[in-house]
Structure 1
Amino acid sequence: MRLPRPLLRLVAGEPVRVDGQELAVEVQALLRLQALAGQERMSADTPEKARTAMSGGLEVVRGAPLPGVQVSRRCVRARSGERDARLYRPTNLTDPSTLLVFYHGGGWVVGDLDTHDELCRFLAKHADIRVLSVDYRLAPEHPFPAAVEDAVDAYEYVLDNAEDLGSSPDSVAVGGDSAGGNLAAVVAQHALANGLKSPVLQFLLYPAVDASTRRRSRDLFGNGLLLTDEDMDWFMDMYQPDRDARTDPRLSVLLNGELEGLAPTVLVTAGFDPLRDEGEEYGRRLAEAGVPVVSRRFPDLIHGFANLFGASPRLREAMFETVGHLRAGLALHSS
């Protein structure tokens, strides 16, 4: 990934241009290498194989643990029992700070605290905040709404124990990537509807927000770009096999007609992502409802880029910009 650009282009092949966008050459090369290794999709014959493949694939692009971040094990009480969590704190951050409750992605089927460890370290260090990464039950062993219940319970636990976590109930944000972004959005909607203290910010990385409709970006980018059309069907069939129930706003948050008053939102999408259009539509709906929204598309990147930032300078650059948006959103809250 760090070859001179002309050599990297030889590895990647001819430029990929779709919908007025050109795929980053580093990403294209990475996808070609993954294809050669037989890792062209996220789904597999069984959930166990998919989980192993995700963990193994991320090991290839993961660097040494980011220095300057203290990590401690925590447990979060939920109706399903105690859920594992990790608290990330920049070592130079000793005063109380904003706490970002983070839900990992993986289609509600794969992913865990380990797969998103590097990302949470990065967010904590460069946003200068505490991050609590929360584990939740995965499908198909625990289908919808198990993940929702765990996500909501974790948020309520954090509100009740914010001081012990180095924050306060007035400084709790929620965030996540992909399916985790979906859970963060669900939590924000739940808080508003049930009279809980709302998060100060929603930090949504290429979130899944509507399981009821097939949009144009899924047809454009549903093959050969890490998250495939087949993957999306596989994940959803595991998580919510009842097609008639996929309009539930605890899954399809875009369909919730009561968006007024939701927390300010930083919403990040990728140009070559089948989830692009639904994520951006959610941003528009929030803005129309009067919610402050910063919506940023990285037109040359793919779904999952936040977990791949160790693979190339371009991906790292995108993550630094993303953290800049996170910092700006939190600064507006504190001002």
Structure 2
Amino acid sequence: MESIADPALAAWLDGIRTGESVEPSLETIRLLRKDRARPPGPELASVTDVTIPGRPALRARLYRSGAAAQPLTVFVHGGGFVFGGLESHDRLCRRLALLANTAVLAVDYRLAPEHPAPAAVDDIVCALAWAAGGRAGRVPEELGPVLPGVGLAGDSAGGLIAFLAARRLAGTPAGPAVLFLAYPNADLTLSAPSIRGKGEGWGLPVRDLAFYISQWVPNASPGTLAEFSPVHGFPLPGPGMRVRTILATAEHDPLRDEGELLAGRLTAEGIEVEHVPHAGLVHGFLTLDTVSPAARLAGDELLGHYGRVLTAAGNCPPDARC
């Protein structure tokens, strides 16, 4: 019998397994995008909507737990490339700001199918360049006082978008100092064993996932999908991408194996990677804190650890491995 982290999570999974199955479609995407009530996150010193200039201009939200200088994290939400936004991950961003002691800039990037790949990656690259001050190197006043060393964090689809943005900016002043990937997509060909073993009844149906991917990379051949899949299909960065990476996976997640493969491949490329597996948990556990005490505890520990790593990276001399 497979172990589940706590009874509350087991009950949540039972509800999913006994609920009505809905065929993924453009209509279901529209329904997933609708506003709905969510449990609130912790109170912070300030939460401010900002606009990142560009073509197009991007909506974003800045979270700060205090007025003193803090490291900055650019956050990339999950949602299968087709849904999610500032509201869906508001509570997670508040927890991240509080537990990691970081200012958080959540970016409302463009979604598929209206904006297929690489639009979302372009948007995060734009956000990172803006946060780094562009060519002038002056941090935008809207961000408030921030310390050196920007972090880049993303969950699920946001993890893949974050990785691709970091790869594009490798070796530039806008590249992140720390990359935090929570149960990321890493193989859009869906060929890892856990896709088959955990693809039904664990909260992320592979049928839905395949449909979402087809909206982000439409009419794609396996070769085209591989071009967006860091576990294979394109050469990973060399010394230019020396960004410390924290990569979290969950035991009962169809994306588990591709996350593990990505961690191993990055390590083989000489990138400092910390793989953090989570026994008994499922995909999306960072946003299941109000469902499962075990998910809340695991998330609290992971977010706090990321914050300590980010703070240490900001104190690390350039080109040093701290």
Q: TM-score range by the shorter chain?
A: 0.7 to 0.9
In the alignment, the residues of structure 1 paired with residue 156 and residue 275 of structure 2 have an alpha-carbon distance, to the nearest angstrom, of 15
1:216 partner letter: P
2:99 partner letter: H
Match of 1:48 among 20, 30, 33: 30
In the alignment, the residues of structure 2 paired with residue 179 and residue 210 of structure 1 have an alpha-carbon distance, to the nearest angstrom, of 11
In the alignment, the residues of structure 2 paired with residue 64 and residue 246 of structure 1 have an alpha-carbon distance, to the nearest angstrom, of 37
- 1:77 to 2:53 alignment: yes
Contact 2:82–2:112 at 8 Å: present in 1 too?
Answer: yes
| Corresponding residue of 1:33 | 15
Match of 1:334 among 299, 314, 317: 314
Count residues with an aligned counterpart.
304
Gaps of 5+ in 2: 316-322
* RMSD of aligned alpha carbons: 2.1
In the alignment, the residues of structure 2 paired with residue 223 and residue 285 of structure 1 have an alpha-carbon distance, to the nearest angstrom, of 27
Aligned in 2, Cα 1:169/1:125: closer, same or farther, shift over 3 Å? closer
Partner SS, residue 83 of structure 2: coil
Contact 1:86–1:132 at 8 Å: present in 2 too?
Answer: yes
- 1:247 to 2:226 alignment: yes
2:67 partner letter: T
1:27 partner letter: L
In the alignment, the residues of structure 1 paired with residue 82 and residue 91 of structure 2 have an alpha-carbon distance, to the nearest angstrom, of 20
| Corresponding residue of 1:88 | 63
In the alignment, the residues of structure 2 paired with residue 73 and residue 214 of structure 1 have an alpha-carbon distance, to the nearest angstrom, of 39
- C-alpha displacement at 1:88, in angstroms? 0.1
Aligned in 2, Cα 1:191/1:30: closer, same or farther, shift over 3 Å? same
1:232 partner letter: L
In the alignment, the residues of structure 1 paired with residue 175 and residue 140 of structure 2 have an alpha-carbon distance, to the nearest angstrom, of 17
In the alignment, the residues of structure 1 paired with residue 312 and residue 261 of structure 2 have an alpha-carbon distance, to the nearest angstrom, of 23
| Corresponding residue of 2:180 | 203
Partner SS, residue 152 of structure 2: strand
Deviations 1:126-167 (A, max 9, x none): 111100000011111111111111111111111115352135
| Corresponding residue of 2:192 | 215
TM-score by structure 2 length?
0.88
In the alignment, the residues of structure 1 paired with residue 261 and residue 6 of structure 2 have an alpha-carbon distance, to the nearest angstrom, of 24
- 1:189 to 2:167 alignment: yes
Q: How does 1:85-164 map to 2 (within 5 A)?
A: 85-90=60-65, 93-160=66-133, 162-164=139-141
Gaps of 5+ in 1: 1-15
In the alignment, the residues of structure 1 paired with residue 48 and residue 272 of structure 2 have an alpha-carbon distance, to the nearest angstrom, of 33
1:188 partner letter: A
| Corresponding residue of 1:6 | none
Give the structure with the higher percent helix. Answer: 1
Partner SS, residue 39 of structure 2: coil
| Corresponding residue of 2:320 | none
Bigger drift between 238-247 and 111-120 goes to: 238-247
In the alignment, the residues of structure 2 paired with residue 110 and residue 325 of structure 1 have an alpha-carbon distance, to the nearest angstrom, of 28
